[in-house]
């Protein structure tokens, strides 16, 4: 299923275009990596895709409803969300539980199944032992991990992460890649992730979107449909 389709999208800040003539298709059930140097508009691309910002021109469609009329659940972990207000008065478990709010609505009570999902999400990112800690007391990497757990607790069909490994050590990064890979391969979900660590995550990706500068022509987007063996080849 075609999940996201962008055609000739142009967007910028002020009068400076940072995305020009971008066309990109992303299908469901894939693990997609978005890569590129600093300032290549990777985060902007995600925000455009999600409709958080509107393009200057071009078309952008992100599927939010399935054929049967049910909504596609989307989880999002923005860049630097872990640098959230250190004084935000919340325990780790409270924050991760909030991932369930969208499914529970305003008044539905937490069931034992909901509690299990929250517990599983925290365990999957290795933060269960920290559940009663105040979120402001955690390190940068730990904050990132609980934000991922919060998104996982939402049980989204599409999980979008913007550099979620910032501040994480190598072991935590590897665990996260495996977790996300299982989320795609065994549960049939979609993961779209902005990353600087293509060398580490490459073997898991189904599709790589590279944003790169081509001389004076501005930024160019190239898409590599790759498996691990083909990874690194030009589009």
Partner 1 sequence: MLGYEFMQRAFWAGGLIGVIGPVLGVFLMLRRQVLMADTLSHVSLAGVALGSFLKLNPALSGFAMAIVGALVIEQLRRVYRTYTEVPVAIIMTSGLALSVVLMSLNPNLSKSFSSYLFGSIVAVSDTQLRLIAVVAAVGIIFFVGLRRPLYNFAFDEETAAVSGMRVSLLSFLFAVFTGMMVAAAMPVVGVLLVSALIVLPASIALRMATGFLAAMGIAVVVGLSGVFSGLAASYYLNTPPGGTIALILLGFLIMAVIFQKLLRLQNRRLIQKINRNRSHKNYEEI
The answer to whether residue 69 forms part of the interface with partner 1 (CB under 8 A) is no
Task: Characterize the bridge pairing of strands 31-35 and 190-194.
Answer: parallel
Q: Which stretch binds partner 1 (CB under 8 A): 4-12, 70-78, 199-207, 212-220?
A: 70-78
The answer to whether residue 104 forms part of the interface with partner 1 (CB under 8 A) is yes
Q: How far apart are CA 216 and CA 207, in angstroms?
A: 27
Show Cβ contacts of residue 8 under 8 Å, excluding neighbours closer than 6 positions: 21, 22, 23, 57, 58, 59
Q: Which of 7, 63, 91, 196 binds partner 1 (CB under 8 A)?
A: 91
- Considering the complex, what minimum distance in angstroms separates the CB of residue 227 from partner 1? 29
β strands within 14-142, DSSP E? 16-27, 31-35, 57-62, 74-77
Nearer to partner 1, 28 or 98 (CB): 98
Tell me which residues in 131-160 interact with partner 1 (CB under 8 A): 134, 151, 154, 160
Nearer to partner 1, 129 or 169 (CB): 129
Q: Which stretch binds partner 1 (CB under 8 A): 25-33, 67-75, 179-187, 222-230?
A: 67-75
Q: With CA atoms as reference, report the closest residue to 201 among 225, 230, 176, 220.
A: 176
Q: How far apart are CA 51 and CA 162, in angstroms?
A: 15
Each residue 207-226 as x (binds partner 1 by CB under 8 A) or -, in order, gives --------------------
Q: In this structure, what token pair is assigned to residue 1?
A: 């299923």
Q: In this structure, what token pair is assigned to residue 225?
A: 């449909």
Q: Binding residues for partner 1, per CB under 8 A?
A: 47, 50, 52, 64, 71, 73-78, 81, 84-85, 87-91, 94-95, 98, 101-102, 104-106, 134, 151, 154, 160
């Amino acid at each position: 299923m075609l999940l996201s389709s962008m055609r000739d999208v142009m967007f910028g800040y002020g009068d400076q275009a940072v995305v020009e003539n971008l066309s990109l298709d992303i299908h469901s059930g894939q693990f997609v990596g978005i890569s590129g140097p600093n300032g290549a508009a990777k985060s902007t691309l995600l925000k455009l895709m999600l409709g958080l910002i509107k393009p200057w021109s071009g078309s952008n469609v992100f599927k939010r409803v399935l054929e049967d009329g049910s909504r596609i659940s989307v989880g999002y972990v923005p860049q630097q969300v872990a640098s959230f207000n250190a004084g935000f008065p919340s325990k780790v478990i409270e924050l991760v539980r909030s991932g369930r709010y969208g499914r529970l609505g305003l008044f539905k009570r937490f069931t034992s199944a909901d509690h299990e999902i929250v517990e599983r999400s925290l365990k999957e990112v290795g933060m269960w032992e920290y559940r009663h800690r105040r979120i402001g007391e955690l390190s940068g990497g730990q904050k990132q991990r609980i934000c991922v757990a919060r998104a996982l607790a939402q049980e989204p069909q599409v999980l979008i992460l913007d550099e979620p490994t910032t501040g994480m050590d190598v072991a935590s990064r590897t665990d996260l890649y495996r977790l996300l890979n299982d989320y795609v391969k065994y549960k049939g979900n979609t993961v779209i992730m902005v990353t600087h660590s293509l060398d580490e995550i490459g073997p898991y990706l189904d599709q790589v979107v590279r944003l790169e500068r081509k001389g004076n022509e501005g930024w160019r987007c190239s898409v590599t449909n790759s498996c691990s063996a083909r990874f690194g080849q030009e589009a």
